[in-house]
Structure 1
Amino acid sequence: MDIEKIAQAIETDAGMPLADIRQALTEMQSETGRITTAEQILVRSARTKCGLSQQAFAARIKTPVATLRDWEQGRFVPPGGVLCLLKIIYNHPDLLGELDAA
């Protein structure tokens, strides 16, 4: 990140010099924030909408609980087919019982 370039652009937009902008940008750059993805939110939302623990939900979708945790914590992204299944479960949580019959 080019701090000087960004600081100049912000000052131009503000129409005045901003004394602490460079320090603030430097501090911001050093901070490592947590990023939550849409896929993480979908996995967690589908599971919580069904009212199940990670263990119970993982068993229901026939996935190792460690894999489900990895998806929820953003270490890995679920494959496309799993994302489609999760969207269906989120929109129709009552259908989750059908997975037991399969």
Structure 2
Amino acid sequence: MAATKLFDTGFVVVILPALENLEILRSEFADLQVDAVLHGPPDRVDVKRLRERQGLTQEEFATEFGLDLSTLRNWEQGRSEPDTATRTLLRTIAAHPAAVHAALKRQD
């Protein structure tokens, strides 16, 4: 089924239970002219740097993206780390802040 979807749409997501070597997988897929890309949250996020690149204060960043201010401060001061889902959100904010802002402001 995945191969059919790949050839029909040019895109497919495959979840692998374990991956020992991404480069070997990419090499094997390259023979089929398929690019293998690993997706997932980053191991760490420099929250303070991300916020500063947005030109926002802690209060503004927390309000803008629906984050708890005290939690944001804890991340920035190294007292705690964002969980997996939050690291994914932060990566998305870094890449597309306007899209995240728009999505959070929508009233469906």
TM-score (norm 1): 0.54
Q: Is the 8 A contact 2:44 2:87 kept in 1?
A: no
What letter matches 2:105 in structure 1? D
Picking from 64, 68, 77, the partner of 1:73 is: 77
State the match for 1:63 in structure 2. 67
| Contact residue 92 and residue 100 of structure 2 kept, 8 A | no
- Structure 1 unaligned blocks of 5 or more: 1-36
Would you tell me which structure has more helix in proportion to its own residues? 1
Aligned counterparts of 1:59 and 1:91: Cα–Cα separation in 2: 18
Larger Rg: 1 or 2?
1
The one-letter code of the counterpart of 2:65 is: I
Match of 1:85 among 89, 92, 107: 89
Aligned ranges 1:1-102 → 2 under 5 Å:
38-39=44-45, 41=46, 43-98=47-102, 99-101=104-106
Q: Percent identity?
A: 34
C-alpha RMSD of the superposition = 2.0
CA offset digits 1:54-102 (Å, max 9, x no partner):
0011112222211100011110011111100000111122224212235
Q: Which runs of 4+ in 1 moved over 6 A?
A: none
User: Distance between the aligned counterparts of 1:53 and 1:96, measured in 2?
Assistant: 18
Q: Which runs of 5+ in 2 are unaligned?
A: 1-42
Write the distance in 2 (CA, Å) between the matches of 1:82 and 1:38. Answer: 11
Q: What is the TM-score normalised by the length of structure 2?
A: 0.51
C-alpha distance in 2 between matches for 1:75 and 1:38: 14
Deviation at 1:46, TM superposition (A): 2.3
